[in-house]
Every structure is written in C-alpha cells, then in structure tokens.
Amino acid sequence: MLRLSEIKLPLEHSESELESAIRSRLALIHVPADSLIRYTVFRRAHDARKRSDIKLTYIVDVDVKDEAAALAHLNDQPHCTVTPDMAYKFVAKAPESMKSPRPVVIGLGPCGLFAGLILAQMGFRPIILERGKAVRERTKDTWGLWRKNVLNPESNVQFGEGGAGTFSDGKLYSQIKDPKHYGRKVLEEFVLAGAPIWLAVGSSTVLAIVFNFFSYGGLVFGDTSHRLLPRFLVFYAFLGGLNFFLLRALIWAGLGPLWAQALLLPVLAGVGFVGMRRFVFGRGPTGSLRHLKVGSGET
C-alpha cells in the first residue's frame, strides 16, 4: 500500500475531485489512472495559513494493481511513500507457565488502564490498584463536593476509576509526531470497545460544561443554582467562539497554532473570570473553599 500526502483541495470539493487528485499524484510515479483499486483517507486537516485561500490537506493510503512498479519511482516524489506498518508491537509475551509475581499497576486513570490492558494482552495477568471508587459511586461523591462542599478524601475528582479526566473533557494527547504509532493503538482500542464516536464526543462535551459550571460556580463564586446555567451556557459558547476567531487571526498573522493558543490562554482566562463575575454569577468570589467540609466535619 502507498501513502500520498500533501494533497490540497478547496474546502467545497467533491469526492470525484479528490479521486482525480489522487490519480494525478499517482501519475507522477508512473501509475496509470486505471491502476487505482481503492483509497482510504488517513488524515484530513485544514490549511488556514492564507485566510483568503483555506485548503483541505489530505493524506491517503492507496492500493494499486502494480505496486512493485510504483515503488521503483518513489525516490523521485517526497510526498509518495510506502504506508508504514501501524500495528502495535508487543515488547514481550508471558511464558505459558509463568510463576513469577504478577505485575502491579497503581492507579486506574488512562495510563493505568492502558498499562493494565497491554500487560493483559501480553499474558501477564496484571493487578491494578486504585484507592478511589468506581465511576458510578465517585460521581455521587464528586457531586457532593460540587453541590454541598462535602469532600470525601478517598473518592473525588482526583481519585477513582477513570482518573481526573473523568469529570472534564479529558484531552487525549494526539501525538502528531508518533513514529511508533502508539496513538493509533489507543484509538483502535476505543473502536474495539464499541463506543460510537457521537457518544464519546457528546458525553465528554457535556461533562466538560458541567465540570466548568461547578468549578466556577461552586469553588470560585459560591453559587451553583440551576437558574444560572442558561446564562453560563451562553457565555461559555461566546468564550469558545472568541477563542476560535482570535486563534485564527493569530495564525493568519503568522504565529504557529501552539504559540497562538499559549498567547491566548491568559487573555481568555481573564476574560472568562470577568465575564463570569459580571454576566453570569453577578458577584465576586466568596472564598467558598474556606468553608469546605471534609466528611461530616467542617475544616
């Protein structure tokens, strides 16, 4: 299989235009147009460096009839390569009659979950230790913290099944430069687990909004009344849109995406705090953390 990169097309292009661009790229390595069997889009991204000419950039994997002949011409085209082997390679395999102690994984966050999964797939029968509770139970404890300021030291936002990201948007480090394709192993396991993409994205977005509402309202302003939620959602959407347009403007001005977002973070944090105080919660911080209860006793 061959990998073709840097295929650029207008935003509003048709499927046939993409296929035509693939055939044109294959012609550069002497592959006839009728030799294309199938193609798969590996990645699609926006190139917004020129605001007046935003493009979609594709990386595609293609099957052709005479791949050996095409391979002979790859050196002439830097954007035509062999599709890398992205299968995960296990570093070891447990012996069938393993008598050594079973490995122990500490923590049931994302790293602990995948460490345990990989060890189990290699046959090592790991033991995973977690001080907190399962998701259902720790959800009740976490809401008790947000709504009633009652802290369970052993079951809260930090401790328990799923780790700290369970109650936030839990961003996954995408590893764009990932020569060993570890990120793909993670995504494949997500697919094998059976969760539909709309459910994964939707639930993480809802949890992120709820987390931020109770973080701002409960811990900063001391008010988590449901009547404030509509105003919070409106301002939250405004803040997201502001971030999007300012980020695009800085990228258009020549900054890289990471530097642009780093520059915007303190600005958006300040705008978010002032906006939440003036338009959502209507008052300054109450110092509610000073009234936090641990268990049934007050601190």
**25-64 residue pLDDT tens:** 898 888 888 888 999 998 888 888 887 888 999 999 999 9
DSSP 211: H
* 198 token code pair: 């709309």
Domains, in order of start, for the chain = 2-82 (3.30.70.2700), 86-204 (3.50.50.60)
pLDDT the model gives residue 203: 67
Calculate mean pLDDT across residues 249-257: 83
Q: b/e map of 178-214 (b: 16 or more CB within 10 Å)?
A: eeebeeebbeeeeeeeeeeeeeeeeebeebbbebbbb
For range 15-23, the mean pLDDT = 92
Residue 11: half-sphere exposure toward Cβ, Cα within 13 Å: 8
How is residue 180 written in tokens?
């060993």
- Ranges of H-type helices in the chain: 15-27, 67-71, 110-121, 135-148, 182-193, 197-214, 229-252, 257-275
Would the pLDDT of 294 be above 70?
A: no
Nearest of 68, 19, 16, 197 to residue 205 by alpha carbon: 197
Mean pLDDT on 197-215 = 71
Of 99, 93, 8, the C-alpha closest to 46 is: 8
CB 203 within 8 A of CB 164: no
Residue range 157-177: mean pLDDT, rounded: 71
Separation CA 24–CA 74 (nearest Å): 15
Question: What is the rounded CA–CA span in Å between residue 136 and residue 173?
Answer: 26
Least confident of 117-131, 138-152, 210-224, 253-267: 210-224
Quickly state the pLDDT bin for 256 (edges 50, 70, 90). confident
Cα gap 68→105, rounded to integer Å? 46
Which pLDDT score, from 0 to 100, does residue 173 have?
A: 56
Percent of the chain with pLDDT over 70: 88
